[in-house]
Amino acid sequence: MTRILGLDYGTARIGVALSDESHFLASPRGFIPAEPKRKCDDSLAELCATENVERIVVGLPRHMSGEEGDSAKAARKFASRVSERTGLPVEFVDERLTTMAADRALSELNLKTPAKRRRVDSAAAAIILQTYLDSKQ
C-alpha cells in the first residue's frame, strides 16, 4: 500500500503531511527545514522511501486573482527539484488561504504562539493534501 505526501513549501520550513494508505485522510507530520537544500532534499527522499510514497502534492501559492507570482515560481522550482531527487511525480494544489485556515484552526486549540508556529506549516500541508485527496474521491 502506498501513501501520498503533501508539502507546504516555505523558504524557512517545508510543512509535511501524509495520507493514509487508502488515500482518504491526510495527517500532519511536522516540518523539515528548507535549508540547507541538500539536507532538505535528502530528508524528503528518505521520508518518501520509508513511507512508501507514490506521489507528492505541493501547494501552489497564487494571488487572489489566480495569477502566479514569485512564490509560485519558487514552489514550482522546489517541486521540480524534489521530483528529480525522489523520482516521484508531483502535482500541485491551489493553496490560497490554506495557511490562514491552518492558523485559524490552531488558534481554536488555544496554543501559545511558539507552539502554534511550529504546527502551522504541517497543518497547512495537511489541508493541501486533504484538498487533493477529496478531489480524487
Q: What is the pLDDT of residues 39-67, one digit of tens each?
A: 999 999 999 999 999 999 999 988 777 77
pLDDT recorded at residue 68: 75
- Provide the b/e sequence for 25-60 (b: ≥16 CB within 10 Å): ebbbbebbebeeeeebbeebbebbeebebebbbbbb
All three cell numbers of 50, joined, read 520509508
Instruction: Give 40's Cβ-side CA count (13 Å radius).
Output: 21
Summarised one tens digit per residue, pLDDT across range 106-120 is 566 565 565 556 677
- Please tell me the distance from the alpha carbon of residue 39 to that of residue 27, in angstroms, as a whole number: 23
Domain span at 101:
3-136
pTM of the model: 0.86
pLDDT recorded at residue 50: 97
pLDDT recorded at residue 105: 63
- CATH code, domain carrying 78: 3.30.420.140
Q: Could you tell me if 18 and 29 are in contact, meaning their C-beta atoms sit under 8 angstroms apart?
A: yes
pLDDT recorded at residue 123: 86
The total domain count for the chain is 1
